[in-house]
Amino acid sequence: MSEEWRTNPKVIELVQRVQNTQVFLKMAAIELRRIAEQAPDMAAELRQIVQKIEAEAEDLADDTDSRPAEA
């Protein structure tokens, strides 16, 4: 498979959307941590959600960094 996928406008747009989603997830995790500090009664549950959000952001980063499989 050639490297055409790197210059395909639809692929570029998809990668940008994934990167934007990753940034959003990281920002959401930061905000949830801040809320957890202010709400000790909810802190454990919020931290679990933060871990899931961060894992999803990392998965997106891994998917974005890898190239499509050779045909």
Q: Can you spell out the DSSP letters for 11-51?
A: HHHHHHHHHHHHHHHHHHHHHHHHHHHH-GGGHHHHHHHHH
d(CA 23, CA 43): 23
Q: Tell me what pLDDT residue 62 has.
A: 82
Q: Tell me what pLDDT residue 4 has.
A: 72
| pLDDT tens per residue, range 12-69 | 898 899 999 999 999 999 999 999 999 989 999 999 999 999 999 999 888 766 655 4
5 versus 47: which is more confidently predicted? Answer: 47
Q: Tell me what pLDDT residue 8 has.
A: 86
pTM of the model: 0.69
Give exposure, 22-55, as e/b (b: 16+ Cβ within 10 Å).
beebbebbeebeeebeeeeeeeeebeeebeebbe
- Domain spans in the chain, listed from the N-terminal domain onward: 3-65
